[in-house]
Structure 1
Amino acid sequence: MSSWIRWAGRAACVVAFVGAAVPALAQIKIGQTAGFSGPVAAGVKEVSDGAKLYLDAVNKAGGVAGQHIELIALDDKFDPALAAENAKKLIDQGVVALFLTRGTPHTQAVMPLLLQHHVPLIGPSTGAMALHNPVNPWLFNVRATYQREAERAVRHLSLIGMDRIALVQVDDSFGADAATGALAGFAGVGKQPVVHEKFDRTKPDMAPIIPKLVKSDAQAVLFIGSGNMVADGVKLLRSAGSRAQVVTLSNNASAGFVKSLGDNARGTVVSQVFPYERSLSAPIVKEALEYGKAAGIGEVTPAMLEGYAAAKVLVEGLRRAAPNITRERLRAALEGFKRVDLGGLELSYSPTDHSGLDYADLSIVGEDGRFKR
């Protein structure tokens, strides 16, 4: 055998050895359970698309400490029991954190697992007060509470001269929580709802409620429920001849909800928990729009902005926990947040405060089907 052949053979062995020794790019596994099908599917998709917009940009730039972020998403069909099952599966798969759960009872079903397995949940897409108080050491909110939204909505309606305001809520923990804020708003302006009705979450039926709203001659109706439920209620309300102002909360701040309203969309008031999604004066919006343009996305919706902000919190926590990222190190990193700038919005956490942001505003659906402020 010639010396050249012997050298080439040894070189090939070295190359093969080096190739085998170099590991594939490590992944940081993040788990998500949400209703990708069912009554909140449109909103869930938009929130998740917003998060993906930022996570993709981070991965394209090299990830966190040389590791790409892998988001593993499971569909819980907006079923609390399935949400808990999915969360357990994700935890068993070794996710560093759970992320962007959707729904109040659904997140509450997941919460016992956080303490049991010492895994953080970041940015649940719900503003339930039960997620803020008492503080769960493993749950980190990003957005404002439903109570704050509902109270502000009622106060606004009173301020513009509406005295006959009705309240219609889903009969679950989300509805009860948001209604608490609404009733605080009524008390603050010395009024009571002319009608206060509840409907079942699993089998929503607005038909018995609509005649009561019409009979009360309500000037405005605050609907608390998921997008499809509210859209059905508005359709029946309009069919019954009522022109009452329709108001709902930020869980319905999505283009999908507007589409579900159809011809009834124009003039609907929807509360918002992030800056105006077309305002370039807000750095977080400008950044999201730039990433969206690069990704071929025409516009950013309010729901997408919520997911985008939650992803920024997640990534900042991972960066501070790096390079040896564990669930415990991530939790400690998040609790060390002091006035972290998300892009014109400052967020802080501490061992006694996991509330995140407190921003709340109102928008109205315009003739073009887009939110205006």
Structure 2
Amino acid sequence: MTSLRSALLGLCLASVGFTAYGQIKIGQTTGVTGAVAATVKESSLGAQLYLDATNAKGGVNGEKIELITLDDKFDTKLAAANARELIEQRGVLALFMTRGTPHTEGIIPILDQHGVPLVAPSTGAMVLHQPLKKHVFNVRATYQREAERAITHLAATGVNRIGVVHVDDSFGADGLEGTQKGLTASKLTAIAISKFDRSKPDFSQIAPAMAKLSPQAVMVIGSGTAVVDAIRALKAAGSGAQFVTLSNNASGGFIKLLGDDARGVIVSQVLPQSQNYALVQEAATLAKTRDILEVSPAMLEGFASAKVLVEALRRAGPKPTREKLQSALENLGKFDLGGLILTFTPTDHTGLDFADLSIISASGKFRR
């Protein structure tokens, strides 16, 4: 009977998402190891900076925030399994900063089943914006906006021979659609479009074929090590193209992986880097307390995401439930992150619309 009562209590806590022992439990499944580990490390550090600072001041409504992170190794099936464990067994109040487009898509039915909000998925997939996903609250802009912005910028500088290499999954298709929008707006057509397998990227045939066409620029849509391998393969095949990739690779770890091949690569951004923004100043100040001298774009995304989560928890009130947090998020309205206005309403969970471009300098830094 004691075991039965314990099991029932656990199920009750998991179903309604109550906090326990003065802590608010938030769950995260992400690629701590695997292809995106370098960027995940930085975005998680940025989030933890803000969460730790919040906890140091007494938490939210007197309760500390506990972030429970499970490694899904950037595997879609493991991401879904982790989400189910976090929700059904660990009783988390919400999920936070999942990583990857197909990974997050696979989690949505679990969110809907249990009424669990997901705050700030680390993906800009349009499918998470339109049509509205009731339990998904995006912070960053869409990949399509980023890709379109990058292509129109290239066209404006006189680049008209553009190739595309993209991963063969929903993320790749989404980025390709944004790229096509930019090409159409610039009255251009891609000289070639090639796709690669997500689980086993192979550029042995793609790279020589693309290089042979002498593109002025190549948009590479993929994640982490796959993009690094694609750029190196294209260079080895003799391509002197300008390489462009999206903000999912906007981390110092990505630059480190590229090594000597990093210089001149264009990376789109979904948050500003200028100290003119109070958000950037706030993140930099907290980072210095950890002896971190520079906040990378990935760190800033994590920081901003945590700031949105904490504000929603505050508005959900003491002893928040999943339902109260969902309501707080839907009615957040206009929230100033620090020079950037994020908006959530019951019919709009898009968040921010900021998109810009950066280039990796000779010193290995992102520069506008």
TM-score over 0.5 (shorter chain): yes
Residues 130-145 of structure 1: matches in 2 within 5 Å? 130-145=127-142
For 1:67, the aligned partner's letter is E
Stretches of structure 1 lacking an aligned partner (at least 5 in a row)? 1-23
Which SS does the other structure have where 2:364 is aligned? coil
Identify which of 208, 215, 220 aligns with 1:211: 208
Contact 1:214–1:240 (Cα < 8 Å) also in 2: yes
For 2:322, the aligned partner's letter is R
Residue 369 in structure 1 maps to residue 364 in structure 2: yes
Whole-Å Cα distance in 2 between the matches of residues 296 and 327 of structure 1? 36
Whole-Å Cα distance in 2 between the matches of residues 181 and 147 of structure 1? 4
| Per-residue deviation, residues 311-342 of structure 1 (Å, max 9, x unmatched) | 00000000000113010100100111121001
Contact 1:25–1:66 (Cα < 8 Å) also in 2: no
1:348 offset after TM fit, Å? 1.0
Which SS does the other structure have where 2:80 is aligned? helix
| Per-residue deviation, residues 154-192 of structure 1 (Å, max 9, x unmatched) | 111100000100011000000001100100111111111
Residue 178 in structure 1 maps to residue 175 in structure 2: yes
Whole-Å Cα distance in 1 between the matches of residues 343 and 183 of structure 2? 30
Whole-Å Cα distance in 2 between the matches of residues 94 and 322 of structure 1? 18
Whole-Å Cα distance in 2 between the matches of residues 240 and 136 of structure 1? 43
Identify which of 284, 290, 298 aligns with 2:285: 290
Residues 94-173 of structure 1: matches in 2 within 5 Å? 94-173=91-170
1:366 offset after TM fit, Å? 0.3
Residue 33 in structure 1 maps to residue 29 in structure 2: yes
Residues 257-268 of structure 1: matches in 2 within 5 Å? 257-268=254-265
Whole-Å Cα distance in 2 between the matches of residues 327 and 250 of structure 1? 30
Aligned to 1:76: 72
Deviates more, 1:96-105 or 1:334-343: 334-343
Aligned to 1:4: none
Residue 326 in structure 1 maps to residue 345 in structure 2: no
Aligned to 1:221: 218
CA root-mean-square deviation:
0.9
Deviates more, 1:151-160 or 1:236-245: 236-245
Runs of 4+ in structure 1 off by over 3 angstroms are none
Identify which of 54, 59, 66 aligns with 2:62: 66
Aligned to 1:341: 336
Whole-Å Cα distance in 1 between the matches of residues 204 and 152 of structure 2? 28
For 2:341, the aligned partner's letter is E
| Per-residue deviation, residues 193-247 of structure 1 (Å, max 9, x unmatched) | 0010000001110111111211111000000001101111111111122110000
Aligned to 1:86: 82
For 2:42, the aligned partner's letter is E
Contact 1:39–1:227 (Cα < 8 Å) also in 2: yes
1:296 offset after TM fit, Å? 2.1
Residues 34-53 of structure 1: matches in 2 within 5 Å? 34-53=30-49
For 1:347, the aligned partner's letter is L
Whole-Å Cα distance in 1 between the matches of residues 211 and 295 of structure 2? 36
Whole-Å Cα distance in 2 between the matches of residues 233 and 134 of structure 1? 32
Whole-Å Cα distance in 2 between the matches of residues 207 and 127 of structure 1? 29
Whole-Å Cα distance in 2 between the matches of residues 227 and 216 of structure 1? 25
| Per-residue deviation, residues 35-93 of structure 1 (Å, max 9, x unmatched) | 00000000111111000000000000000011000000000000010000000110021
Using structure 2 for the length normalisation, give the TM-score.
0.93
Whole-Å Cα distance in 1 between the matches of residues 275 and 358 of structure 2? 17
Identify which of 234, 237, 240 aligns with 1:240: 237
Aligned to 2:4: none
| Per-residue deviation, residues 255-302 of structure 1 (Å, max 9, x unmatched) | 1111111111000000000001xx221100000000011122221100
Alignment length, in residue pairs? 348
Whole-Å Cα distance in 2 between the matches of residues 53 and 357 of structure 1? 21
Larger Rg: 1
Stretches of structure 2 lacking an aligned partner (at least 5 in a row)? 1-19
Aligned to 1:304: 299
Which SS does the other structure have where 2:60 is aligned? coil
Whole-Å Cα distance in 1 between the matches of residues 231 and 34 of structure 2? 19
